A and B are shown apart, each in its own frame.
Chain A
Amino acid sequence: MIFRDSAPIRDGFGRALVEVATRRREVVALTADVSEPTRVHWFAEEFPNRFYQMGISENDMIGTAAGMALNGLIPFATTFAVFAASLAHQAIRLSVAYNEANVKIVCSHGGITVGGDGATHQAFEDLALMRLIPGMTVVCPCDANEAYDATIAIADYEGPVYMRVGRIASPIIDQGRSSFELGKARIVRTGDDVALLANGIMLVYALEAAELLEQEGVQARVINLHTLKPLDEDAVLSAARECAALVTVEEHSVLGGLRGAVAELLSARHPTPIEGVGVNDTFGEAGEPEEMLAKYGLTVNQILAAARRAVSRGGVVTEV
């Protein structure tokens, strides 16, 4: 436990990168003019000879990182989520993923809590865009400690990875004795009436909703699906079988991200109604993070309402 109480998720990445680079000299880092916002500046201070400032050139950065990886380095390429997942998608698809290059793309400023920068800088679709690329591992840690562990895990994993780390300070979550393992969901709370499947900053809201549901006599299982791809299918299928009412909770479009991944799996293996809490199919706007979460429906109350709807349907597939 490096962080206590509350910290920006990106801090977990920045601190862990220094730690992993101390251990592994093939780790290098690149940024596209956002070293401080992505927290890669701590690495740059410690390892100036292994740090590559690429300027405002995300495509160049991703392609360069791919070439470095093809030659034995472990590059961490850092920028904001919109500038990697959207702007540099071709370079990620071709030069990283199709080449099977061992590049780690770590992006801050994903989701709606970017705040006042507005819609242009709010990536609601980055996780979906990355999920669609064959061979890509996609990670969205829930707090700074998990980002720390995830950074070390993805450095040790051989293959392309996209990881989203949030900008705002978010609470540190007690995940008990479960340890971070890529591709393995963490059961943060047990219960059999409804399962709340969440990742990123929304996990803490799901936990809060679960506490309130308990007061209503509803036992909610809360599952941290920090790895969106490969999805922990067993954890999701078990939840569907044992809880029969599911809610996905994500700081992302309800299309193609966590709800998408869960729906794709369950529609084939265990058809189950899914209530999705996330951003609807829309662009964002400028606003304080808390205002944005409220306006776009990413709240404890929305999770509660979704959970109640899911429970009332009782797992029965009906048209809604």
Chain B
Amino acid sequence: MQHNKDELQNFAHQIRRDVIRMIRHAGSGHPGGALGAAELFAVLYGHAMKHDPGAPEDPHRDRLVLSNGHICAALYSALARTGYLPLEELGTLRQLGSRLPGHPSRTKLPAVIENSSGPLGQGVPVAKGIAQANLQLGFTGHIYCLVGDGEMHEGIVWESLLSAAQHRVGNLTLIVSYNNLQIDGRVSDIKDIQPLADKLRAFRWDVTEIDGHNIDAVAEALTNRHAKPDQPKAVIANTVMGKGVPFMENLAKWHGTCPTEDEATQALEAIGTVPAYQDFPIMEKAEA
């Protein structure tokens, strides 16, 4: 099925707007990685994944396991924009009693949030286990797992990379959002993961490297699931932390910093508005 590039690009912009507004409203959060992965979420939920908000528990659904849980604002936005959540719920990010905590919690939204995550690396084996259960039970869905590049420092990731290849988990795609930034600076300065594609190939994965902001490239990479059915797939998506908001781009500071009111306004202006998508209503916090 051919994707609609403009629609997906608009979806990505909408995710960015939501991310800024949600985090600004919450008063804290992780905007940088979420902005950088907007095209990935837009293509996954808008095109690549077979899923139905009307039947979220369909055992044959495609699933996203978000392993770098801190970028969940983008996931929540994608879920709301595709009908899994009421839009106004986005305004509850990180609040007491919300179903949208600062790192995703599966039990608050079963079958919508596939996995609780936050401690890095842990989602990779979970995604693999879901994929292996699909093979065991005859479910046809494809499993995607999104990780950050700094997350590749975690040993559990490499344990799982080994066993996914060993067990021929071909219904699994690992997406690495590679922006070369982590909290303390550049990944290449702190503990370089290069040459990542070579490493993954050496681990017997089918590797594709793309510009993670190019809708066509992302769409092609994430729908190429039937080639090499016995081999797990890795997509290295080169991304820019803070993408779409010039003053946030490529600055590690925006990993986990909340924009001020002025910064949020500037950010929204930079992203631009698209009339096709109405912004979600932000509820005022109740006065104490």
Interface residues of A (CB under 8 A from B): 26, 28, 49-50, 52, 54-55, 57, 59-73, 75, 90-91, 94-95, 98-100
Contact = CB atoms under 8 A, between A and B. Distances in A.
Interface of A is mostly: helix
Given A68-B133, A73-B136, A91-B156, 8 more contacts: A50-B136, A64-B128, A68-B132, A70-B129, A70-B130, A71-B137, A90-B122, A98-B107
A91 B130 contact: no
A26 B133 CA distance: 9
Contacts of B123: 63
Contacts of B129: 63-71, 75
B130 A55 contact: no
Q: How large is the interface on B (under 10, 10 to 19, 20 to 34, 35 or more residues)?
A: 35 or more
B59 interface: yes
B125 A62 contact: yes
Interface stretch (B17-25, B87-95, B112-120): B112-120
A73 B125 CA distance: 15
A66 B132 CA distance: 11
B166 to A, nearest CB: 7
B116 A55 contact: no
Given A71-B139, A90-B119, A64 B156 contact: no
27 contacts: A26-B137, A49-B136, A50-B136, A57-B160, A57-B163, A59-B155, A59-B156, A60-B160, A60-B162, A60-B163, A61-B125, A63-B125, A64-B125, A64-B163, A66-B125, A67-B133, A68-B133, A69-B129, A70-B126, A70-B133, A73-B136, A91-B156, A95-B115, A95-B126, A98-B106, A99-B116, A100-B107
A100 B111 CA distance: 13
A52 B125 CA distance: 13
B131 interface: yes
Contacts of A61: 125
A67 to B, nearest CB: 2
A70 B129 CA distance: 8
A57 B162 contact: yes
A100 to B, nearest CB: 5
Nearest to A56: B159
B132 A99 contact: no
B134 interface: yes
A67 B128 contact: yes
Contacts of A69: 129
Interface string B141-182: 000000000000001100110110011000000000000000
B127 interface: yes
Contacts of A28: 136
Contact of A59 (B105, B114, B125, B128): B125
Contacts of A68: 129-130, 132-133, 136
